[in-house]
Amino acid sequence: MDEEETRLANVLSNIEGVGKVQAMIVREDGAVKGVLVIAEGAEDISVMLKLLNATATVMGVDKGVVEVYEME
C-alpha cells in the first residue's frame, strides 16, 4: 500500500467493529477511478455501510466507485 492507501486504512480501522483494513486506490490520469476496501468486520452490513460511506467521503468520490469486501 502507498502512503494514501495506508492513511485511508488507518482511518477506517478506527471505526467501531471494523478491525484490520487493507485499501487500494485505482487512479487514471490522477483521478480516482476506484477504491477497494477489505476489512475484517465487513461481514456485518452496518459496518460495511459505514466503510462505504466513510471511504466515499474521505476520498471525495461517488459510492459507486467504492467496493467493500470481508477479509478472510
In sequence order, the 6+-apart residues with CB closer than 8 A to the CB of 36 are: 23, 24, 26, 67, 69
* CATH number of the structural domain spanning residue 46: 3.30.300.30
Q: 22 is in which domain, residue-wise?
A: 3-70
- The reported pLDDT for the residue numbered 25 is 98
Work out how many domains the chain is built from and give that number.
1
Q: Is the pTM above the cut of 0.85?
A: yes
- The reported pLDDT for the residue numbered 58 is 96
Task: Answer for the pair 33, 21: CB distance below 8 angstroms, yes or no.
Answer: no
Question: Which three three-digit cell numbers place residue 25?
Answer: 486506490
Tens digit of pLDDT per residue, the chain (72 long)?
999 999 999 999 999 999 999 999 999 999 999 999 999 999 999 999 999 999 999 999 999 999 999 999
